[in-house]
Structure 1
Amino acid sequence: MTRPAGVHELFELRARSSPQAIAISAAEGEISYARLNAWASGLAGRLIAAGVRPGDRVAVVAPRSPVLVAALLGVLKAGAAYVPIDLAEPAVRLGRTIEDAGIAVALADAAGTLLLRAQPVKVVGLEGTGDGIGASVPVATNDLAYLMYTSGSTGTPKAVMVEHRNITNLVTEPNFLAITPADVVLHLAPAPFDASTFEIWGALLNGARLAIAPPGMLASHELTDAVGTSGATILWLTAALFHRQIDEDLTAFHGLRAVLAGGEALSVPHVAALRAAAPGCRIVNGYGPTECTTFSSCHIVARDDDLGSRVPIGTPVQGATAYVLSPDGTPVPPGSVGELHIGGAGVSRGYWRRPALTAERFIPDPFDPEPGRRLYRTGDLASWTPDGLLDFRGRTDDQVKLRGHRVEPGEVESVLGAHPSVLQIAVALLRDDRADPRLVAFVVPSGTFDQRGLRSFARQRLPAYMVPARFVRCGSLPVTRNGKIDRTALRATIAEHPGAGRRA
């Protein structure tokens, strides 16, 4: 028997083998694998009746809920690709997405239908449970599963094309964490954020239960309640939310079997605090761009790990390869910094309708003998440690110039983040008409805010031009809806500190 190629087909295998097992739990109740399968098949039938054909893109507009999961699965069953849309999406950006993706049909709840009212799309409502004539269209492994929009350097969002094979590689027998039918995965990430790929399909393709967290951003005590109420055993958090939760309520982690965190560099003090407070919880530092399907490498923090000043991003996940290359494309020796390139089964098809950008970032893989294989140029700086682990060293495209010197803010953050008085830090560039550009460090301290001590610490580890001109104390760092540090809000904060360009 040929192994099913599609995400929805693998889900159907689970539904047939364990029809009464609980697939989803939420405030609305529990849904079995058999019931979710029938619900999604009904939605697929309604989409096909509305004109959806294999390869089409279908917008899905609904909050985090069982309805959302059924809708995503229904789109895949129709042979189409889903395009998740945030309910808070501004109208102009929404219109651009609809036009760019060529979306003619959308699945939406009542609020989503209202959001789409001015858009030239046919809306299929999500009311009811999708009963009716069901459908499930077979697909190939390289058929499109979803488009996910990310910020573009030009200010125009770009969509990453992720195929079914990319998703199945991510969640099938992952080498960083075994997911079993006994597990409960908390679904916390917004659907347009690729962490949801791991949460949703990691649970449902492994026979686990997907516990739906309440809609919206959760405060630390609400996250603790959601973990405890659902009985979650696996939790994924962005670095910013990971740090916040450890600062404010460590009890959230006590019942977990594993917590995965990433998106930005993890703070060593926070990881150490969690390791001490919840020794039974596996801590996984996950790294990966959207272009490579959520995770490309992971590091499992061992109980006896000497983390030093940085938490490694580890080794490639199953089916992936990683190379740290110099500008001429040759591998750099351990300890040397180069650009991280990712290859293997997680590498997506490229950017939707952006052939030039795809050719620039997705390049032929010279290290793979199989024709047609590609590497994704991440734009991230990395190095190999003597132990064979990847060490994240910042971004190439965040570089700034100060007095003729190139400065990588991520490197400054990494160095200062190792200071014992620093819980979190973000470095931004101040530009104004009164002075030359200056670096400003925004610090969330663990206790006493010692500017002189931080400056001395920096001067001992960084060239003079990389030492921030000012250290600004913050109660917290601003976070976006996706849980990442909000760099735009940080720049606004700089304007609120007119002395930020002067040395302390």
Structure 2
Amino acid sequence: MTTILDVIEERVRRTPDRTAVICAESRLSYRRLWNGARAVARTLTAHGPVRGSVVAVLGPGNEHFMTAVLGCWLAGASWTPLDPAWPEERRRHVLTDTGAPLVLVTDGASAAPGRLHGVPVLAVAEAVASASGTPDDGEATDRPGPDDPAYVIYTSGSTGSPKGVCVDHGALAAHLAGAVAAYQLADDDVLLSFSAPAFDATVMEMWAGLVAGGTVLLRGSALWTGPQLFARVHEHHVTYVGCTTAYFETFFGEELTEREVELLGGLRAVFFGGEAPSAAVVRRWLAGPLGHVPLCNGYGPTEAVIAATRYWIRQGWDGGDQVPIGTCVPGHEAVVLDEEGREVAPGDSGELYLGGRCVARGYLNRPDLTAQRFVRLPGRDGVYYRTGDLVFQDGEDLVFVGRVDRQVKIRGFRIEPEEIEVVLRGLEQVRGAVVGVGRSPAGRDRLEAHVVPEDRAVPADVFTVEVRRALRERLPVYMVPDVIRVLDELPLGATGKVDRTRVLARTGGA
């Protein structure tokens, strides 16, 4: 395999009429998807040379989004997502940083006519309407090679300025091949892509199913309710659900009714990622009527190409308060080093470095930051991404501890707030939790926990007493939060992850 284009083109030749994409009332066969993408590629090149450029794709993750992405690749361009929910300043930054020559719009309501921040706007639907010909009519495209960039996805930077992570076609193809093997995907599978396009997991949710020769069901712009989600899973015979951890806990975390169990009966697995899952929710799923359906916890920064590790959670799992992040997906490598760059012993924590073919090219237009984070290690081949994540090895599995840059010192003790969050999420009475550092009225630093109860009928004062008692049984006294705030829910950001910034904005005060 050189690029995903070669794989999908082969699927088009073998099974041209098989359904590739479903979104709302639309169904695209492999042939229609390919022809539409070729029409988009023709439209792009008609506006000028685009090979090597980054084309922006604005709108929801619908069938036009996948057509646009495939069209960019066929034209030799990479792509970057623009989320309609982003503030204008962030969109402007991405367009300026990438130098995007064009914006492809997947939903006519997503942009003002003509231009977006000075960049020409093209409607994907109009380009697709001009599609003609067959996949093997010999029409030339300016295809990329494995070393050419495939996409640029922006992540939040510690400085406040988003940074674009550039991934090449070889790394993407290697990851998708590894994912198909790791998740045992087949051509009779139907995968639900539920994440937002700005979240890099969407790349795997959308394209791994097609690499396997199966079908992808797209959520589109609407955030379904639980009943809508379950009905669509049943209607379209979904076998694999891919989503963020927060979505999983929202929709699958409750006890299921008999009817919901019936609707979800065709599932083979649910995989999620983006943040640590609640061990209590996981145990509830495994103990329920669908406990035979395994869960898969994926971990991986955008810089290491989507999910670098995975951990299968099956009936009989008894992992205590924390779900490991597991072992490497094929194509990825991991090493855990101490502050001196030495490999740590099993059981000792250290910083995780990820290598292998599935490592990003670096940060767009940020050679200084690229040099800091993408490094070479003595005695090892290739480039490794320095994740900034602390982990330790438990047997064959990696276990997440926290962030190097979030370590805090309170009253002389070094503390990882994520470690407290893991313990909180492992409590039966807790649905979700975020821990941060605030200031007391006296001006002293203190730990503050923002917690969503499992049973909202329990009075807040009773709940906090129970949680505090449980924490004292599991943590040193200096790690028990001074303040526990009870929330109805944890707000989600545009990517479907918990918006920690909004939560921690409440930190501090009396």
Scaled to the shorter chain, the TM-score interval is: over 0.9
Code of the aligned partner of 1:142: D
1:444 match: 452
Asked whether 1:290 is paired with 2:297, we answer no
8 Å CA contact 2:437–2:447 kept in 1: the answer is yes
Deviates more, 1:114-123 or 1:476-485: 114-123
The one-character-per-residue Cα deviations of 1:29-85 (angstroms, maximum 9, x if unpaired) are 311101111110111011011113321110111222111110010001001001111
8 Å CA contact 1:14–1:33 kept in 2: the answer is yes
Q: Tell me the distance in 2 between the aligned counterparts of 1:94 and 1:34.
A: 33
Instruction: Give 3-state SS (helix, strand or coil) of 1:482's partner.
Output: coil
Counterpart mapping for 1:138-287 below 5 A: 138-174=143-179, 175-248=181-254, 250=256, 251=260, 253-277=264-288, 278-287=290-299
Q: 1:426 aligns with which of 427, 434, 439?
A: 434
Instruction: Give 3-state SS (helix, strand or coil) of 1:452's partner.
Output: helix
Instruction: Give 3-state SS (helix, strand or coil) of 1:99's partner.
Output: helix
Instruction: Give 3-state SS (helix, strand or coil) of 2:316's partner.
Output: coil
8 Å CA contact 1:312–1:389 kept in 2: the answer is yes
Aligned length: 490
Asked whether 1:102 is paired with 2:115, we answer no
8 Å CA contact 1:213–1:226 kept in 2: the answer is no
Q: Tell me the distance in 1 between the aligned counterparts of 2:264 and 2:398.
A: 26
8 Å CA contact 1:347–1:376 kept in 2: the answer is yes
- The verdict on how the C-alpha distance between 1:479 and 1:242 changes in structure 2, with shifts beyond 3 A counting, is same
Q: Tell me the distance in 2 between the aligned counterparts of 1:444 and 1:152.
A: 27
Q: Tell me the distance in 2 between the aligned counterparts of 1:443 and 1:7.
A: 42
Q: 2:57 aligns with which of 60, 67, 81?
A: 60
Q: Tell me the distance in 1 between the aligned counterparts of 2:214 and 2:255.
A: 26
Q: Tell me the distance in 2 between the aligned counterparts of 1:292 and 1:189.
A: 18
Root mean square deviation of aligned Cα: 2.0
2:110 match: 112
User: What 5-or-longer segments of structure 2 have no aligned partner?
Assistant: 134-138
Instruction: Give 3-state SS (helix, strand or coil) of 2:41's partner.
Output: helix
8 Å CA contact 1:19–1:33 kept in 2: the answer is yes
Counterpart mapping for 1:312-323 below 5 A: 312-323=324-335
2:131 match: 131
What's the TM-score, normalizing by structure 1?
0.92
The one-character-per-residue Cα deviations of 1:286-325 (angstroms, maximum 9, x if unpaired) are 0000111111110111322221121111101101111111
Instruction: Give 3-state SS (helix, strand or coil) of 2:182's partner.
Output: coil
8 Å CA contact 2:253–2:285 kept in 1: the answer is no
Q: Tell me the distance in 1 between the aligned counterparts of 2:51 and 2:60.
A: 25
For residue 494 of structure 1, report the CA deviation from its aligned partner.
3.7
8 Å CA contact 2:178–2:331 kept in 1: the answer is no
Deviates more, 1:448-457 or 1:341-350: 448-457
Deviates more, 1:344-353 or 1:166-175: 166-175
For residue 207 of structure 1, report the CA deviation from its aligned partner.
0.9
Q: Tell me the distance in 1 between the aligned counterparts of 2:264 and 2:379.
A: 41
8 Å CA contact 1:45–1:135 kept in 2: the answer is no
Q: Tell me the distance in 2 between the aligned counterparts of 1:253 and 1:293.
A: 30
What's the TM-score, normalizing by structure 2?
0.91
Asked whether 1:457 is paired with 2:464, we answer no
Q: Tell me the distance in 1 between the aligned counterparts of 2:416 and 2:178.
A: 36
The one-character-per-residue Cα deviations of 1:337-392 (angstroms, maximum 9, x if unpaired) are 11111111211111111111111111103343x4xx0111111110001x221011
For residue 132 of structure 1, report the CA deviation from its aligned partner.
5.5
Counterpart mapping for 1:361-372 below 5 A: 361-368=373-380, 370=381
Q: Tell me the distance in 2 between the aligned counterparts of 1:262 and 1:274.
A: 16
Q: Tell me the distance in 2 between the aligned counterparts of 1:185 and 1:367.
A: 40
- The verdict on how the C-alpha distance between 1:400 and 1:389 changes in structure 2, with shifts beyond 3 A counting, is same
Instruction: Give 3-state SS (helix, strand or coil) of 2:115's partner.
Output: coil
For residue 471 of structure 1, report the CA deviation from its aligned partner.
1.5
Instruction: Give 3-state SS (helix, strand or coil) of 1:443's partner.
Output: strand
Deviates more, 1:435-444 or 1:169-178: 169-178
- The verdict on how the C-alpha distance between 1:428 and 1:220 changes in structure 2, with shifts beyond 3 A counting, is farther
1:354 match: 366
- The verdict on how the C-alpha distance between 1:462 and 1:276 changes in structure 2, with shifts beyond 3 A counting, is closer
The one-character-per-residue Cα deviations of 1:252-278 (angstroms, maximum 9, x if unpaired) are 644311100111111111111112221
Q: Tell me the distance in 1 between the aligned counterparts of 2:488 and 2:59.
A: 33
Q: Tell me the distance in 2 between the aligned counterparts of 1:402 and 1:356.
A: 32
Asked whether 1:35 is paired with 2:49, we answer no
User: What 5-or-longer segments of structure 1 have no aligned partner?
Assistant: 500-504
